[in-house]
Structure 1
Amino acid sequence: MGGASRRSRLLFPVLGMGLLVLLLFSIIIVFLLAGEAKASGTIYRGVKVGPVDLGGLRDVEARGRLEHFALQKQSDHVRLIVGEKSWEVSLAELGAGIDVEEALVRASRYGREGHFFNRLSQRWHANKFGAQLPVPYFVREDEATAKIAELAREVNIPPTDASLSVGDDDSVHVLPAAPGREVDLTAAVIKLKDEINHEHPEIRLEIRAVPPGVETSQIEAMQIKGLMSVFVTKFNPANTNRVENIQVAAAALHDHLIAPGETFSFNQVVGPRSTEAGYKEAIVIEENEFRPGVGGGVCQVSTTLYNAVLRANLPIAERRRHSLVVDYVPVGTDATVVYGITDLKFINDTTGYLLLRTRVAQDKLTVKIFGNNEDLPEVTILSEVEEVIAPPVKEVQDPALPAGRVMVEQEGKRGYRTKVTRLARQGGLVVSTEVISRDLYPPVPRVVRLGTGPVQESPIPAPVEGTESQGVPVTGAGGARDNG
């Protein structure tokens, strides 16, 4: 009995202490629950976002306070550093600032998320010691990138592509490539996001190497080592429309590259001869006649190129003569072109690239071909007239002309049979003979109109008094002819 009594005496204080703790805990819970009910719709006391105290404020009030703070922070500066160069840039210039909505959400949710005891713990801590939440920032990446790129232009060095240099003496040199350097914009924006919430953010921008678009080895591999051929034709500089057409077509050829094994097409490179492309009306050959047409003069460019190609010892894939003989090259060495119909084509059968260069100056058109001129044979082009064909005479009976009258409507032009041969020499010895073309330039007939109409007689003047009348001779069939 005595032992049971002692246990009872010990049990009562323990139970009392337990009930007291339970009572106190219940009071705290009731107090906090009452506080939660009271604070419904407001931010708990003690909650701050950065230095901004939002405790006890409703959302509208808190938003106003945060917006004011955000506006002040817009003028804060970030220091960007590259080597010894630096810039002070405001958050506004970088498209950055405080995310007011996110700050408001974080403050409003503090003490209201997680399990029950976690919420109680946060509210008690905020009320007792305060809860300072980090300031959320935003960065508009496109604006930040644009601003940093603008500043980086002061330190960026663009790469230099390797290129060919052709001197006035036709010497060819390879200008080497050089890498560039530039600020790494992607890394810069990432660092900005990481450092922006610091008191005085400093960002050391990273520099990355920028490789050239064309390496020196790529230019060297093209094997353009020197001049292979050149050809020059003359034109009348007073014919301004024709000269402008020559300039437009020649410009399309200038600096054009032809890969090994490629078939060059004049029409494909030069394009349509239209007013939209810059061509004007000048004399063209059409239906065996010289007539005005858009693009007159382009055939002189194709012909000059053709002669340069022959002298570069390149194979011709397609070429056609004019219907009439032209006066700016030896007969048989012309090459007409009509877009979509007649083309000039040749093949680059060398192991390297070919480079075309053109120049229009004063009264001359020059076309040059550069490539691998090592072991290039000396080429001679022989143009021979195998036959001269006299123009036939075409007589047309014309009743509108009086009988016996003759009028030349069209002067005739001689025709030619031609042969063009290419001779290649190495060390003074002929190593190849190639007949390039055999052409027939048909003669243009001489057209004569013969009068078959009635003969008109001149009236006999009335006799003058006191004199003898004089007769006036009448032109008959055997009279004079109009040779036009």
Structure 2
Amino acid sequence: MSEDTTVKRKGSFKSKRNGVILIIAIIIIAFALKQFTSKKLYNGKIAQNIYIEDVNISNLTKQDALDTINAKYPVKNLNLSYDNKEYTIEAKDVDLSYNTKQLVDDAYNLTRKKSYFSNIITYISTKFGGHDYIIEAYYNEDKLDEQIGQVSKQINKDYVDATISVSSGITVKESQSGLKCDDEANKKSIKKAYKEKNYKTIALKVDVIQPRVKTEDVQSIDTVLGSYSTTFNAGQYERSYNIALALSRCSGTVIMPGETFSYNDATGPRIVSNGFKYASVIVAGDYQDAPGGGVCQGSTTLFNAVLLSGLDITQVRNHSKTPAYVSRGRDAMVNDGDSDFKFTNNFDHPVYISTYAGAGRASAQIYGSSKDKVGVSIKTTTFTYSGLPGAKTYRTITKDGKSETTQIYTAVYRD
């Protein structure tokens, strides 16, 4: 046998042996892949090292994983509390839910949604690197607002201003603070609880609303600062009714230091739907019937009481015709347009309006603190302007021995 033949036989044997090894290796790899595929990759369970929040759902079926997550993070009703009382927002009333089923589906499909070899790579990467999911809360925003509003209605309370009555001496009715739920802040707390799946009772944020006029404010009111009265024909029922209605809407008002009182705001528009009746009014220098006839006598009566109290007159004007119930320069015309009677409390303490009309007499008193009481004198001078009668009104205020005179207004009348 030649040397070449021996080499060829040895090479052939080696090739066959390598082929056998390759086939065996392929068989082993195929078997291993089959085993891996059936027992690890496509075994009906979630891959390894996968978490939803802090729950390890590795090697669980979808249903087992869902049950485990729902047991750890169930949808619950949320309790709110204020002043030792509890209020509940039920999950069903706001359509509260968590996306746990979707997350379990996503976790299950993580190593199944791509090609076979891509899924193997994902499996290996997940096994050693892990994969985390965060649960999200879903709810109906409008329904949540409605539930928060219903809770707020049970807690909210209007504040009550202190008032006084002067029928028989000066009596103080105490003020009461109010309550107002901070719906926006409470909603943020609720949404945070849903997001974090934290169902501890939430302490509601409720603001205490202080009254505009407190008890200690009106306790300083102890005297009459100014008063005035006018007369009217009680037989004119509609006009008498309007005077009484307008003044009744002013009576009982407390004006704090720095605040401005508006007669028009207090009485409201002179229309039938606001309670006023048709009666004679001056329009463009002539008399005609309109809703609210007589309210100017109310404003005039109040104006003179304010004038005598020393309060700051901030808006006043005269009628086009001289009214019968007061002298020139002492009237205060109002309408629903640009004419209003306003005054500002320039004192250090609150003032109180007391007004009344009945039996042919309209009266107004301004009550306040004796510490604010000043001496007041009124002077009216008459003049003629283009043949028309006019008057200038001056007020002198004396306080601490010092007097100061100011002009209140200049009035010109058609007659």
Residue 29 (structure 1) aligned with residue 33 (structure 2): yes
Match of 2:196 in 1: 194
Deviations 1:169-218 (Å, cap 9, x if unpaired)?
A: 3466874757778894432342244337xxxxx53222435232558899
Out of 311, 315, 319, the residue aligned to residue 308 of structure 2 is: 311
Deviations 1:276-326 (Å, cap 9, x if unpaired)?
A: 655432012356654323331121122112211221124556432552441
Q: Which residue identity does 1:93 align to in structure 2?
A: D
Cα shift at 1:441:
7.0
Match of 1:78 in 2: 77
Cα shift at 1:260:
3.3
Residue 143 (structure 1) aligned with residue 147 (structure 2): no
Out of 138, 142, 165, the residue aligned to residue 163 of structure 2 is: 165
Match of 2:258 in 1: 260
Cα shift at 1:89:
6.5
Residue 295 (structure 1) aligned with residue 292 (structure 2): yes
1:302/1:106 CA distance change after superposition, 3 Å: same
Residue 47 (structure 1) aligned with residue 61 (structure 2): yes
Q: Which residue identity does 1:109 align to in structure 2?
A: N
CA distance in 2, matches of 1:256, 1:244: 24
Deviations 1:196-248 (Å, cap 9, x if unpaired)?
A: 7xxxxx53222435232558899859x87865323334444554432443355
1:146/1:246 CA distance change after superposition, 3 Å: same
Following superposition of structure 1 onto structure 2, how do residues 103-252 of structure 1 map, counting pairs within 5 Å?
A: 103=103, 105-106=105-106, 109-112=109-112, 116-117=119-120, 119-120=122-123, 138-144=138-144, 146-147=146-147, 150=150, 156=155, 158=156, 161=159, 163-168=161-166, 169-170=169-170, 175=175, 177=177, 184-195=186-197, 203-213=200-210, 227-247=224-244, 249-250=246-247
Out of 312, 330, 341, the residue aligned to residue 333 of structure 1 is: 330
**TM score, norm. by length of structure 2:** 0.60
CA distance in 2, matches of 1:87, 1:347: 45
CA distance in 1, matches of 2:153, 2:268: 39
CA distance in 1, matches of 2:86, 2:336: 59
Q: CA RMSD in A?
A: 5.8
Structure (1 or 2) with the larger CA radius of gyration: 1
Cα shift at 1:354:
5.3
- Is the Cα–Cα contact under 8 Å of residues 242 and 294 in structure 2 kept in the other structure? yes
- Is the Cα–Cα contact under 8 Å of residues 145 and 189 in structure 1 kept in the other structure? no
The worse-fitting range, judged by mean Cα deviation, of 339-348 and 187-196 is: 339-348
CA distance in 2, matches of 1:194, 1:306: 63
CA distance in 1, matches of 2:207, 2:239: 46
1:360/1:186 CA distance change after superposition, 3 Å: farther
Cα shift at 1:39:
9.6
Of structures 1 and 2, the one scoring higher in RCO (CA 8 A, sep 6+) is 2
- Is the Cα–Cα contact under 8 Å of residues 192 and 203 in structure 1 kept in the other structure? no
Aligned residues: 364
Cα shift at 1:29:
2.8
Cα shift at 1:87:
6.7
- Is the Cα–Cα contact under 8 Å of residues 177 and 215 in structure 1 kept in the other structure? no
- Is the Cα–Cα contact under 8 Å of residues 239 and 280 in structure 2 kept in the other structure? yes
- Is the Cα–Cα contact under 8 Å of residues 103 and 136 in structure 1 kept in the other structure? no
Q: Which residue identity does 1:78 align to in structure 2?
A: N
Deviations 1:70-89 (Å, cap 9, x if unpaired)?
A: xxx99x86363648756777
Q: Which residue identity does 1:323 align to in structure 2?
A: K
Q: Which runs of 5+ in 1 are unaligned?
A: 1-15, 54-68, 125-132, 197-201, 388-414, 444-484
Cα shift at 1:378:
3.9
Deviations 1:100-124 (Å, cap 9, x if unpaired)?
A: 8725742552423696446445999
**TM score, norm. by length of structure 1:** 0.53
1:147/1:438 CA distance change after superposition, 3 Å: closer
Following superposition of structure 1 onto structure 2, how do residues 287-436 of structure 1 map, counting pairs within 5 Å?
A: 290-314=287-311, 316=313, 318-321=316-319, 323-327=321-325, 329=326, 333-340=330-337, 344=341, 346=343, 348-350=345-347, 356-360=353-357, 364-371=361-368, 373-379=370-376
CA distance in 1, matches of 2:192, 2:96: 13
Q: Which residue identity does 1:246 align to in structure 2?
A: I
Residue 96 (structure 1) aligned with residue 100 (structure 2): no
Taking every aligned residue pair, what percent have the same amino acid on both sides?
Answer: 19
